[in-house]
Homo-oligomer: A and B are copies of this chain.
Amino acid sequence: MNINPVSILKEHDLKHTKQRVRVLEEIALDSVAISQPDLEKKLGKEIDRVTLYRILNTYQEKGILHRIMDMNGTANYAVCTSSCSEDHHHDEHVHFNCTNCNKIYCLEVEAPRIKMPKGFTAKTVSSIAYGICEKCNAI
């Protein structure tokens, strides 16, 4: 993913700190989402655990990252591609969670429109497909 952490911080009126830049860089490295535990491992003691929590929350609230919960309730983070805002994430694509390697992919597939029963008004829909990813299928 080709993003510029510094300008993203500016755009969202966030102070430019080396921790924030580092986290965003790390997540943008890969096109697949990274889980919070993996992120912690990668960062090691570069960044305090609590700080990481706070940065991830801020990013998610600001619409810089989106958070995808996997089957086990683990948070996974990916850079928001489209223009997400504080009040609304446009993360309306399907995610794919490989049950073999556990990676989470943001697919280029739009989340399907779903008709709601009377009385229910949906604002967003999250769709996660579980199965085997291209890499694991290739092996």
Contact = CB atoms under 8 A, between A and B. Distances in A.
A44 interface: no
Interface string A37-78: 000000000000000000000000000000001111111000
A7 interface: no
A72 B71 CA distance: 12
Contact of A109 (B71, B114, B121): B114
A43 B137 CA distance: 44
Given A121-B132, A124-B131, A126-B128, A96 B116 contact: yes
Given A69-B71, A71-B69, A117 B107 contact: yes
B134 A119 contact: yes
Interface in A98-116: 99, 105, 107-109, 112, 114-116
Given A69-B71, A73-B69, A137-B120, A114 B94 contact: yes
A133 interface: yes
A130 B120 contact: no
B112 A134 contact: no
26 contacts: A69-B70, A69-B72, A73-B74, A94-B114, A96-B122, A108-B117, A109-B114, A109-B115, A109-B116, A116-B129, A116-B131, A118-B134, A119-B134, A119-B137, A120-B131, A120-B132, A120-B133, A121-B131, A122-B129, A122-B131, A123-B131, A124-B129, A125-B127, A125-B130, A126-B129, A127-B127
